[in-house]
């Protein structure tokens, strides 16, 4: 049974929807409402105020771009506010002569555009929060933060793939997320020897049985016109060895192995629909909450979701319902391959002034410390990017779901941070919709997608 709706993961839903909306002119004025009033304007003398950290006339005086919901002023999550405020206090006590002036960014797409513009003009903030997806755009401008990365091998490989350039750490990737298969343990016990499916064939087989015996969908996933339809399912493409772009950012979907991997994924989409395992209505699913709703209402036995849904599902479900929901790796074409999409936020330093850079690096480095990463990720409901945090912190080491995510992240992969990705994602969403609704064959949908992507790139 489903409890009354409680707090909803507004931030993630908004981020994913905004990342697919052309223009992005609509401001996230609602985020401004996240701004609390933990301090004053800096004239109060507090070392941690709303817009000013440390000395108002500090030397050095740093500027910092940050999101309200990741700050000490957020009213959406008091634990995050307390954690970040503690980081600021620690930094301010260590740098008694220095100060940080905060500029809040309340529109994600505008933030990226503004950051590109000020960097190009040579007037970048001293430091800024940077979406992990944006990092490649700023490689030549981000200053090395290698000094605060004490144990490089402790970080997951996908972190280093993005954060490290020419041997230098360009940013501190403070938290991440990942995608997984959510499944009903009681139904797996009844119809699949207690184990979740590892392959597409197994998923279809057990899904058909559940559909027939339990009169519910076997499997659901994001299939609407939004970023998650691409990002969630990319794991099935990547696990086959597929690449979207080369190291120059050029799309390579028409290369033999990549096109084959892409076609395999879209043929899998068709199988889920043709078999009746998945309802066609997923073509209208553009919100993770709809998958949660189907799961908790007994409408599906499995769905493809993200780690952040654990907390919201636990809040919504009664204990008896929740105990049956488990997570596992995403079923793949073959059992011995794996991948999962990963995102998250980083902290970057832009100032090249030696004194400012040292002070800024000291601050962003706070997120790199194991105990601080554990505190921040626990408070924010995100996943640590250092492997040891999952062993050295009770919250993560004793939670069975966190231990699954720890394993899944070994095969984590981030989206390529090149401009053409937005076109690839949009075309993927369109092609998936046509296959799911029967408007196009997988072959036709893939050919059209590749043609449109290449045309956009060459234009």
Check whether 445 has a pLDDT greater than 60.
yes
Say how many CA atoms lie within 13 Å of 385 toward its Cβ: 31
Any idea which residue has 């260590």 for tokens?
A: 94
Buried residues in 48-80 as b, exposed as e (16+ CB within 10 A)? bbbbbbbbbebebbbbbbbbbbbbbbbeebeeb
Distances (CA, A) of 156 to 21, 150, 379: 31, 14, 21
pLDDT (average), residues 435-447 = 98
- Residue-averaged pLDDT of the chain: 90
Q: Terminal CA-to-CA distance of the chain, rounded, Å?
A: 53
pLDDT (average), residues 209-227 = 97
Residues paired with residue 62 on neighbouring β-strands, in sequence order: 100
Residues paired with residue 48 on neighbouring β-strands, in sequence order: 53
Residues paired with residue 81 on neighbouring β-strands, in sequence order: none
pLDDT tens profile 123-172? 999 999 999 999 999 999 999 999 999 999 999 999 999 999 999 999 99
Check whether 8 has a pLDDT greater than 70.
no
Q: Is 425 exposed, middle or buried (0-12, 13-18, 19+ CB in 10 A)?
A: buried
In three-state secondary structure terms, 198 is coil
**From CA 319, how far away is CA 296, in angstroms rounded?**
12
> Residues with Cβ < 8 Å from 248, sequence gap 6 or more?
none
User: What per-residue confidence (pLDDT) applies to 443?
Assistant: 98
pLDDT (average), residues 60-82 = 95
Buried residues in 13-47 as b, exposed as e (16+ CB within 10 A)? bebbebbbeeebeeebeebeebbbebbeebeeebb
Task: Give the whole-number percent of the chain exceeding pLDDT 70.
Answer: 90
Confidence of residue 43 (pLDDT cuts 50, 70, 90): very low
Any idea which residue has 């000490």 for tokens?
A: 72
What's the whole-model pTM score? Answer: 0.88
Check whether 32 has a pLDDT greater than 90.
no
Cα–Cα nearest to 221, from 311, 287, 274: 287
């Amino acid at each position: 049974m489903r409890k009354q709706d409680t707090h909803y993961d507004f931030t993630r839903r908004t981020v994913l929807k905004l990342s697919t909306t052309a223009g992005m002119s609509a401001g996230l004025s609602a985020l401004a409402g996240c701004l609390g009033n933990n301090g004053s304007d800096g004239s109060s003398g507090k070392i941690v105020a709303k817009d000013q950290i440390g000395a108002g006339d500090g030397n050095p005086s740093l500027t910092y771009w940050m999101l309200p919901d990741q700050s000490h002023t957020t009213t959406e999550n008091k634990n995050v506010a307390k954690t970040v405020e503690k980081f600021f206090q620690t930094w301010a006590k260590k740098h008694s002569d220095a100060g940080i002036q905060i500029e809040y960014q309340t529109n994600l797409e505008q933030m990226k555009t503004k950051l590109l513009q000020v960097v190009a003009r040579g007037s970048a903030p001293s430091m800024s929060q940077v979406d992990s997806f944006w990092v490649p755009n700023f490689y030549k401008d981000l200053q090395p933060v290698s000094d605060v990365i004490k144990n490089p091998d402790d970080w997951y490989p996908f972190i280093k793939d993005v954060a490290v350039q020419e041997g230098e750490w360009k940013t501190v990737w403070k938290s991440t997320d990942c995608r997984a298969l959510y499944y009903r343990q009681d139904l797996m016990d009844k119809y699949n020897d207690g184990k979740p499916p590892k392959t597409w064939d197994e998923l279809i087989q057990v899904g058909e049985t559940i559909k027939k015996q339990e009169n519910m969908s076997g499997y659901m996933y994001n299939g609407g016109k939004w970023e998650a339809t691409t990002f969630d399912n990319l794991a099935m493409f990547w696990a086959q060895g597929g690449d979207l772009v080369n190291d120059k950012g050029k799309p390579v979907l028409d290369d033999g192995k990549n096109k084959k991997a892409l076609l395999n994924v879209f043929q899998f989409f068709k199988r889920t629909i043709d078999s009746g395992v998945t309802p066609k209505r997923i073509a209208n699913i553009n919100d993770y909450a709809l998958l949660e709703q189907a799961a908790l209402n007994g409408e599906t036995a499995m769905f493809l979701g993200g780690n952040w849904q654990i907390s919201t599902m636990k809040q919504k479900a009664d204990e008896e319902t929740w105990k049956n929901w488990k997570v596992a790796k995403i079923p793949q074409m073959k059992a011995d391959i794996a991948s999962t999409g990963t995102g998250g936020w980083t902290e970057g330093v832009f100032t090249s002034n030696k004194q400012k850079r040292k002070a800024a690096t000291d601050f962003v480095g706070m997120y790199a410390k194991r105990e601080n990463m554990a505190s921040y990720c626990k408070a924010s409901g995100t996943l640590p990017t250092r492997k040891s945090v999952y062993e050295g912190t009770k919250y993560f080491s004793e939670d069975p779901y966190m231990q699954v995510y720890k394993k899944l992240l070994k095969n984590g992969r981030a989206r390529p941070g090149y401009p053409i990705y937005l076109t690839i994602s949009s075309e993927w969403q369109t092609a998936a919709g046509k296959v799911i609704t029967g408007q196009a064959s997988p072959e036709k949908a893939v050919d059209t997608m590749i043609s449109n992507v290449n045309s956009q790139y060459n234009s």
